[in-house]
Structure 1
Amino acid sequence: MHRALSLVALSAAAFVSSAQAQQLPATQLKVVGGLSNLSLYNEFEKPFWTKTIPAASGGKVTADIKGFNDMGLKGPELIRLMSSGVIEFGTSTLAYFAADNPINEAIDLAGLAPDVKTARAVTEAFQPAYEKFYAGSNIKVLGMSTYPAQVLFCNAEIKDLTSIKGKKVRTSSRTQAELIEALGGASVTMAFGEVVPALQNKVVDCAITGSLSGYSAKWYEVSTHLYALPINWNQQIHAVNKKAWDKLNPGVQQLITTEFKTLVNDIWVAAGKQTQEGYDCNTGAAACTQPVKGKMVLVKPTEADHALLKKLLNESVLPKWAARCNAQCVNDFNATVGKVVGLTAKK
Structure 2
Amino acid sequence: MKDDKKSPILKEKVEETSGRRNFIKSAAAVGGTAILGAPFIGNAEAAKGQTWKIQTTWDAGTTGYTLFEKWCNGFQERTGGELKVKPFPAKSVAADNNALFEAVKTGVLQGMNPFTLYWAGKIPASVFLSSYPAGPDQPAQWDTMFYGLGMLKMAREIYAKQGLVYVGPIQHDANIIHSKKPVNSLADFKGLKLRVPGGMVSEVFQSFGASTVSLPGSDIFPALEKGTIDAADYVGPAVNWDLGFGQVTKYILFGPPGVMSIYQPVDLMDLTVNQRAWNRLSPSLQALVEEQVKAYSLEHYVSIQGRNVEALDKFKKSGSTVSRLSVEDVAEFRRKAIPIWYKWANKDADAKRVFKLQLDYMLNDVMGYVNPNDIKGQKFN
3-state DSSP of counterpart to 2:132: coil
What amino acid is the match of 2:155?
A: Y
Are the equivalent residues in 1 in contact too, given 2:55–2:93 (CA < 8 A)? no
Most deviating of 69-78 and 129-138: 69-78
1:170 to 1:106, Cα distance in 2 relative to 1, 3 A:
same
The corresponding residue for 1:265 is 298
CA displacement, residues 186-214 of structure 1 (integer Å, 9 cap, x when unaligned): 11233322221221232211100012332
What amino acid is the match of 1:296?
A: S
Listed as ranges, the gaps of 5+ residues in structure 1 are 1-11, 285-293
3-state DSSP of counterpart to 2:271: strand
Are the equivalent residues in 1 in contact too, given 2:344–2:351 (CA < 8 A)? no
What amino acid is the match of 1:147?
A: H
The corresponding residue for 1:58 is 80
| Residue 204, structure 1, aligned to residue 226, structure 2 | no
Alignment of 1:70-89 (within 5 A): 70-89=92-111
| Residue 113, structure 1, aligned to residue 136, structure 2 | yes
Query: How far has the Cα of 1:172 moved from its partner?
Result: 1.5
Are the equivalent residues in 2 in contact too, given 1:36–1:66 (CA < 8 A)? no
Query: How far has the Cα of 1:109 moved from its partner?
Result: 2.1
How many angstroms apart in 2 are the aligned matches of 1:306 and 1:277? Answer: 27
The corresponding residue for 2:329 is 305
3-state DSSP of counterpart to 1:103: helix
3-state DSSP of counterpart to 2:97: coil
How many angstroms apart in 2 are the aligned matches of 1:204 and 1:160? Answer: 19
The corresponding residue for 2:218 is 193
Query: How far has the Cα of 1:120 moved from its partner?
Result: 4.0
How many angstroms apart in 2 are the aligned matches of 1:16 and 1:115? Answer: 34
Question: What is the aligned-residue RMSD (CA, Å)?
Answer: 2.7
How many angstroms apart in 2 are the aligned matches of 1:114 and 1:277? Answer: 23
Are the equivalent residues in 2 in contact too, given 1:36–1:70 (CA < 8 A)? no
Listed as ranges, the gaps of 5+ residues in structure 2 are 1-18, 25-37, 256-260, 364-369
* Aligned pair partner of 1:247 in 267, 270, 280: 280
| Residue 320, structure 1, aligned to residue 343, structure 2 | yes
What amino acid is the match of 1:338?
A: L
Query: How far has the Cα of 1:253 moved from its partner?
Result: 2.7
Are the equivalent residues in 2 in contact too, given 1:149–1:271 (CA < 8 A)? no
The corresponding residue for 1:331 is 353
Query: How far has the Cα of 1:13 moved from its partner?
Result: 6.3
3-state DSSP of counterpart to 1:235: strand
Relative to total residues, which structure has the larger helix share, 1 or 2? 1
* Identical counterparts, % of pairs: 15
What amino acid is the match of 2:379?
A: K
Aligned length: 322
1:129 to 1:249, Cα distance in 2 relative to 1, 3 A:
closer
How many angstroms apart in 1 are the aligned matches of 2:120 and 2:350? Answer: 16
Are the equivalent residues in 1 in contact too, given 2:39–2:80 (CA < 8 A)? no
CA displacement, residues 92-126 of structure 1 (integer Å, 9 cap, x when unaligned): 12222111121111133222233434444455553
Query: How far has the Cα of 1:58 moved from its partner?
Result: 3.2
How many angstroms apart in 1 are the aligned matches of 2:268 and 2:215? Answer: 19
Query: How far has the Cα of 1:148 moved from its partner?
Result: 1.5
3-state DSSP of counterpart to 2:122: coil
Are the equivalent residues in 2 in contact too, given 1:146–1:271 (CA < 8 A)? no
Larger radius of gyration: 2
1:133 to 1:42, Cα distance in 2 relative to 1, 3 A:
same
1:122 to 1:168, Cα distance in 2 relative to 1, 3 A:
farther
TM-score (norm 1): 0.82
How many angstroms apart in 2 are the aligned matches of 1:332 and 1:189? Answer: 24
Alignment of 1:291-302 (within 5 A): 294-302=318-326
Query: How far has the Cα of 1:275 moved from its partner?
Result: 5.1
The corresponding residue for 1:8 is none
3-state DSSP of counterpart to 1:77: helix
| Residue 167, structure 1, aligned to residue 192, structure 2 | yes
1:40 to 1:121, Cα distance in 2 relative to 1, 3 A:
farther
| Residue 341, structure 1, aligned to residue 367, structure 2 | no
The corresponding residue for 2:161 is 136
How many angstroms apart in 1 are the aligned matches of 2:334 and 2:146? Answer: 19
The corresponding residue for 2:59 is 36
